[in-house]
């Protein structure tokens, strides 16, 4: 427990100092989260979709940003990865850095459904392929294909 302030000015000064410390930590957490998102997008576009991109089956749209508001981090902007997959658009859309049970969440949003990707503390991404029964598997070309099949329109 913090000691009681002797005066209103001391109390307010202590609150301001605490807020500044928390703001610095929040900014650091946001920057770390944005770097994690960038690494995810690099893995998707540079590794998992490389063959499909080379064959002209995937086009990466210019990046766009979305605003996110988190209770403990405040408001910040994060990039969305937008892919054109043969005329159908899917997005990788950051949801939050502070998520129970993981170190962050990005949703894969298609025209038919949405699936969550969650990151572990060691920068390992998993896809939640099913909530009930719970089925979470590491992000790979196979699981990304399965997730795309689930979120895109049936043909």
pLDDT digits (tens, 9 = 90+) for 33-75: 999 999 999 999 999 999 999 999 999 998 899 999 998 899 9
Q: Which domain range does residue 57 map to?
A: 11-151
Instruction: Provide the pLDDT for residue 18.
Output: 60
Confidence class for position 26, pLDDT limits 50, 70, 90 = confident
> Rounded to an integer, what distance in angstroms lies between the CA atom of residue 12 and that of residue 8?
6
Would you say residue 135 lies in a domain? yes
Would you say residue 20 lies in a domain? yes
Contact partners, residue 124, CB within 8 Å, separation at least 6 = 138
Would you say residue 4 lies in a domain? no
Q: Classify residue 83 as exposed, middle or buried by CB count within 10 Å of its CB (0-12, 13-18, 19+).
A: buried
Would you say residue 48 lies in a domain? yes
> Rounded to an integer, what distance in angstroms lies between the CA atom of residue 49 and that of residue 34?
21
pLDDT digits (tens, 9 = 90+) for 78-109: 999 999 998 999 999 999 999 988 999 999 99
Structurally, the chain folds into a number of domains equal to 1
Percent pLDDT > 70 in the chain is: 89
pTM for this entry? 0.83
């Amino acid at each position: 427990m913090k000691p009681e302030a002797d005066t209103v000015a001391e109390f307010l000064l202590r609150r301001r100092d605490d807020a500044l410390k928390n703001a610095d930590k929040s900014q650091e957490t946001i920057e770390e989260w944005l770097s994690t998102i960038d690494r995810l997008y690099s893995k998707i576009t540079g590794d998992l979709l490389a063959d499909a991109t080379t064959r002209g089956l995937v086009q990466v749209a210019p990046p766009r940003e979305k605003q996110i508001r988190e209770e403990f981090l405040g408001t910040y902007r994060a990039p969305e990865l937008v892919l054109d997959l043969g005329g159908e658009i899917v997005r990788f859309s950051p949801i939050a850095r502070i998520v129970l049970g993981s170190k962050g969440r990005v949703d894969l949003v298609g025209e038919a459904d949405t699936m969550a990707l969650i990151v572990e503390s060691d920068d390992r991404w998993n896809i939640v392929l099913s909530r009930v029964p719970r089925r979470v598997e590491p992000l790979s070309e196979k699981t990304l294909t399965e997730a795309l099949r689930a979120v895109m329109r049936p043909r």
